[in-house]
């Protein structure tokens, strides 16, 4: 195990470790008011997230020791398990915040959609690697999107539009990383564009006809262009306007850690979806920009590992994980800033929650395992070259 730890990308490891620890501190700062008023225990969310991070550490240690050949052997089964878990929500799922997205377990509730995101990345990576000699056939290129659409619809029906959008966006990013032949690439992109365009027109038509199939609280989220017009506790404008107030209160340097006023039950979900405004209020816009810069470095490091990979599957997994993190950050921030409708997407490393933290750790651990195998491969190649020279 020590040999494996020596070969991980240490800068990526310490950046993610720092973000998880920083997130833990901010979760406590943002949650203790609600915890003490509703649960009579100010440390409730801190303790639970701490236990989650301990589990994440063991997930990391275990995952970096698993050869990627095991994923290659079982990539279809991994996706099959993810789909079964999503289907099981119809029978055993519990509803939290209006979405039937959780499977109850004795210690915690698990969100299958988070695992499905990673499962699709793994499936697509090994599928395209297996069919890399047929990349001029657009039908073969598009085949994985049958499963992508199936998972998208299963997640959207919970309803969890935020996760559904992330699933499609991440899978599209994986496809974009496949080195397609020009003709196949043109046909593939054309079909995807037409499908998205048709779907968008259908959604707009359903919205205008009043038969969108969306719940009333989801329709309220489309007031993002003028959120404060619905400044009530039941409207999404209440959340976004309090987010604006928090960011404005923070200024450049913040009011000091623990001194946020918006977390005093003014800003709902202040320790989950809306943790970024609390961070800016307490530590300032400068800290907010530093966090965004750290996200940029983490994503850059993952892409750098992808570029050094010696197999297509490894590279696509890394690209998929980088997209997975980027899309989460983008959708969360544009939501809390009122630039797009809210979707309830957690902010990587910083938001409270077990399922996402575990799946994010699992994804990053696979990236680190890929980095380990790449370094071992490069060392073996250097040794072979030296032997040849002799």
pLDDT at residue 211 tops 60: no
Per-residue pLDDT at 6: 81
pLDDT value of position 213:
47
Mean pLDDT of the chain: 84
Which pLDDT score is estimated for 135? 66
CB 113 within 8 A of CB 160: yes
Q: Which residue, among 141, 170, 199, 165, has the nearest Cα to 360 in the 3D structure?
A: 170
What's the average model confidence in pLDDT over 147-162? 88
pTM for this one? 0.89
**What span, in angstroms and rounded, lies between the C-alpha atoms of 321 and 343?**
20
* pLDDT tens profile 165-177: 899 999 988 988 8
Residue 99 exposure: Cα atoms within 13 Å on the Cβ side: 23
Q: What is the pLDDT of residue 228?
A: 60
- Does residue 59 surpass a pLDDT of 50? yes
pLDDT at 205 over 70: no
CA distances for 182 relative to 138, 139, 145, 189, angstroms: 10, 14, 19, 11
CB 71 within 8 A of CB 377: no
pLDDT category, 212, cuts 50, 70, 90? very low
Each domain of the chain, given as residue ranges in start order, spans 1-65+217-390, 70-214
Q: Which residue has the higher pLDDT, 105 or 54?
A: 54
Predicted confidence (pLDDT) per residue in 247-275, tens digit? 888 888 888 888 888 777 677 778 888 89
* H or E stretch covering 31: helix 10-38
């Amino acid at each position: 195990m020590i040999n494996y730890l020596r070969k991980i990308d240490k800068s990526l490891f310490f950046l993610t470790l720092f973000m998880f620890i920083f997130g833990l501190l901010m979760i406590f700062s943002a949650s203790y008011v609600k915890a003490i008023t509703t649960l009579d225990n100010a440390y409730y969310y801190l303790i639970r997230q701490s236990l989650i991070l301990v589990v994440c550490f063991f997930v990391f240690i275990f995952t970096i020791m698993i050869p990627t050949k095991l994923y290659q052997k079982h990539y279809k089964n991994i996706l099959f398990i993810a789909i079964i878990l999503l289907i099981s929500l119809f029978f055993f799922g519990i509803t939290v915040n209006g979405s039937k997205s959780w499977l109850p377990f004795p210690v915690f509730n698990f969100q299958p959609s988070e695992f499905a995101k990673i499962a699709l990345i793994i499936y697509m990576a090994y599928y395209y690697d297996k069919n890399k000699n047929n990349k001029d056939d657009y039908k073969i290129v598009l085949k994985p999107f049958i499963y992508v659409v199936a998972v998208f619809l299963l997640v959207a029906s919970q309803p969890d539009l935020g996760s559904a959008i992330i699933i499609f966006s991440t899978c599209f990013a994986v496809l974009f990383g496949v080195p397609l032949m020009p003709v196949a690439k043109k046909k593939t992109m054309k079909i995807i564009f037409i499908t998205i365009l048709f779907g968008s027109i259908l959604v707009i038509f359903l919205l205008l006809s009043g038969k969108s199939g969306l719940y009333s609280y989801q329709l309220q989220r489309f007031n993002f262009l003028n959120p404060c017009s619905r400044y009530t506790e039941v409207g999404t404008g209440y959340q976004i306007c309090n987010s604006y107030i928090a960011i404005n209160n923070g200024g450049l340097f913040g009011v000091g850690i623990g001194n946020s006023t918006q977390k005093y039950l003014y800003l709902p979900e202040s320790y989950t979806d809306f943790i970024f405004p609390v961070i800016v209020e307490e530590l300032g816009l400068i800290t907010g920009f530093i966090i965004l810069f750290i996200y940029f470095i983490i994503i850059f490091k993952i892409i750098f590992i992808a570029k050094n990979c010696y197999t297509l599957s490894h590279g696509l997994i890394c690209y998929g994980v980088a997209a997975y993190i980027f899309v989460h950050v983008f959708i969360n921030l544009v939501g809390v800033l009122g630039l797009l409708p809210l979707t309830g997407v957690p902010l990587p490393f910083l938001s409270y929650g077990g399922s996402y933290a575990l799946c994010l750790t699992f994804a990053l651990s696979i990236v680190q395992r890929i980095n380990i195998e790449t370094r071992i491969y490069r060392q073996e190649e250097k040794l072979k070259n030296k032997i040849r020279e002799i």
